[in-house]
Structure 1
Amino acid sequence: MSIDVRVPTTGNAGEDAVIVDWNVRVGDQVSAGEVLVTLETAKSTIEVEAPEAGEVLRVLFDSGDEVPEHEVLAIIGAAGELPAEGDAGPTAAPTAPAADAADPGATAPAEPTPAVVETARADRHRASPRARLLAERNGIDLSTVTGSGPGGRIIVPDVLSAKRATAPAATAAPEAAPVAPPRDAEVAAAAAPRDAEFQLVPVRGARKVTAQRMHASLAGTAQVTLTRYADATAMLSYVKRLRTVTEAQGLPKINVNDVLLFATAKAVAKHPEANSVFDWDGIRQYRQVHLGFAVDTGQALLVPVIPNADALSISGVAAAAAASIEKARSGKLGTAEMEGGTFTVSNLGSLGVHWFTPVLNTPQSCILGVGAAHQSHPDAPSLLPLSLTFDHRALDGAAAAKALASIAEAIETVDVLSAF
Structure 2
Amino acid sequence: MATEIRIPTTGNAGEDAVLVEWHVDVGGSTREGEPVLTIETAKSTLEVVAPVDGTVLEQRAKPGDDVAEFSVVGLIGEPGEATHPAETHTHELSAEARAHGRSLPPESTMGGEEPAEPSPEPPVPAPDAARPARIAASPRARRVASALGVDLTEVDGSGPLGRILAGDVERAAVDATTATDAPPVQSVVIQPSAVVPVRGVRKVTAQRMHASLSEAAQVTLTRYANADSMLQWLDRIRTSPGAASAPRVTLNDLLLYATARAVVGHPVLNSRFDWDGIRQFDRVNLGFAVDTERGLFVPVIRDAHRLKLGELASQVHAAIERARGGRLQPDEMAEGTFTVSNLGGLGVHWFTPVLNAPQNGILGIGAAHRDGDGRMLLPLSLTFDHRALDGGAAARALADIATAIEHVDVLDAF
The interval holding the TM-score normalised by the smaller chain is 0.7 to 0.9
Cα displacement (A) at 1:181: 9.3
Unaligned 5+ segments in structure 2 are 91-175
Please list the CA deviations of residues 273-299 of structure 1 after superposition, one character each: whole Å capped at 9, or x if unmatched. Answer: 111112222222211111111112221
User: For residue 367 of structure 2, what is the aligned residue in structure 1?
Assistant: 372
Please list the CA deviations of residues 66-117 of structure 1 after superposition, one character each: whole Å capped at 9, or x if unmatched. Answer: 1100111111111112414325xxxxxxxxxxxxxxxxxxxxxxxxxxxxxx
User: For residue 51 of structure 1, what is the aligned residue in structure 2?
Assistant: 51
Which letter maps to 1:67?
A: V
Looking at structure 2, the residues matched to 369 and 258 of structure 1 have their Cα atoms a distance apart, in angstroms, of 14
- Equivalent of residue 268 in structure 1, options 263, 266, 273: 263
5 Å-filtered alignment, 1:171-210, equals: 184=184, 187-188=186-187, 191-194=188-191, 197-210=192-205
User: For residue 83 of structure 2, what is the aligned residue in structure 1?
Assistant: 83
Q: Residues 180 and 359 (structure 1 numbering): CA distance in 2 closer, same or farther, change over 3 Å?
A: farther
Q: What's the TM-score once normalised by structure 2's chain length?
A: 0.74
Question: Of the two, which has the highest radius of gyration?
Answer: 2
Cα displacement (A) at 1:55: 1.5
The answer to whether the 8 A contact 2:43-2:297 is kept is yes
- Equivalent of residue 384 in structure 2, options 390, 393, 396: 390
Q: Residues 86 and 284 (structure 1 numbering): CA distance in 2 closer, same or farther, change over 3 Å?
A: closer
Cα displacement (A) at 1:246: 7.0
Q: Residues 210 and 2 (structure 1 numbering): CA distance in 2 closer, same or farther, change over 3 Å?
A: same
Confirm whether residue 357 of structure 1 aligns to residue 352 of structure 2: yes
Looking at structure 2, the residues matched to 5 and 358 of structure 1 have their Cα atoms a distance apart, in angstroms, of 41
Looking at structure 2, the residues matched to 6 and 193 of structure 1 have their Cα atoms a distance apart, in angstroms, of 42
- Equivalent of residue 208 in structure 2, options 193, 213, 231: 213
The answer to whether the 8 A contact 1:17-1:41 is kept is yes
Moved more, 364-373 or 31-40: 31-40
5 Å-filtered alignment, 1:221-232, equals: 221-232=216-227
Q: Secondary structure at the match of 2:14?
A: coil
- Percent same amino acid among aligned pairs? 57
5 Å-filtered alignment, 1:253-264, equals: 253-264=248-259
Moved more, 247-256 or 345-354: 247-256
User: For residue 120 of structure 1, what is the aligned residue in structure 2?
Assistant: none
- Equivalent of residue 324 in structure 1, options 313, 316, 319: 319
Moved more, 62-71 or 332-341: 332-341
Cα displacement (A) at 1:214: 0.8
The answer to whether the 8 A contact 2:237-2:243 is kept is no
How many residue pairs end up in the alignment? 327
Confirm whether residue 293 of structure 1 aligns to residue 288 of structure 2: yes
Q: Residues 37 and 183 (structure 1 numbering): CA distance in 2 closer, same or farther, change over 3 Å?
A: farther
Looking at structure 1, the residues matched to 27 and 182 of structure 2 have their Cα atoms a distance apart, in angstroms, of 60
The answer to whether the 8 A contact 1:264-1:411 is kept is yes
Please list the CA deviations of residues 346-382 of structure 1 after superposition, one character each: whole Å capped at 9, or x if unmatched. Answer: 11111111111000011111100001111246x6111
The answer to whether the 8 A contact 1:243-1:255 is kept is no
Q: Stretches of 4+ moved more than 4 A in 1?
A: 178-183
User: For residue 109 of structure 1, what is the aligned residue in structure 2?
Assistant: none
Please list the CA deviations of residues 189-245 of structure 1 after superposition, one character each: whole Å capped at 9, or x if unmatched. Answer: xx2133xx3311111111111111111111111000001111111111211221223
Q: Secondary structure at the match of 1:267?
A: helix
- Equivalent of residue 408 in structure 1, options 392, 395, 402: 402
Cα displacement (A) at 1:30: 2.1
User: For residue 245 of structure 2, what is the aligned residue in structure 1?
Assistant: 250
Cα displacement (A) at 1:319: 1.6
Q: Secondary structure at the match of 2:221?
A: strand
The answer to whether the 8 A contact 1:314-1:418 is kept is no
Please list the CA deviations of residues 133-167 of structure 1 after superposition, one character each: whole Å capped at 9, or x if unmatched. Answer: 8xxxxxxxxxxxxxxxxxxxxxxxxxxxxxxxxxx
User: For residue 22 of structure 1, what is the aligned residue in structure 2?
Assistant: 22
Confirm whether residue 342 of structure 1 aligns to residue 337 of structure 2: yes
Cα displacement (A) at 1:182: 11
Q: Residues 245 and 20 (structure 1 numbering): CA distance in 2 closer, same or farther, change over 3 Å?
A: farther
Looking at structure 2, the residues matched to 224 and 15 of structure 1 have their Cα atoms a distance apart, in angstroms, of 29
The answer to whether the 8 A contact 2:288-2:341 is kept is yes
Q: Residues 285 and 180 (structure 1 numbering): CA distance in 2 closer, same or farther, change over 3 Å?
A: farther
The answer to whether the 8 A contact 1:305-1:340 is kept is yes
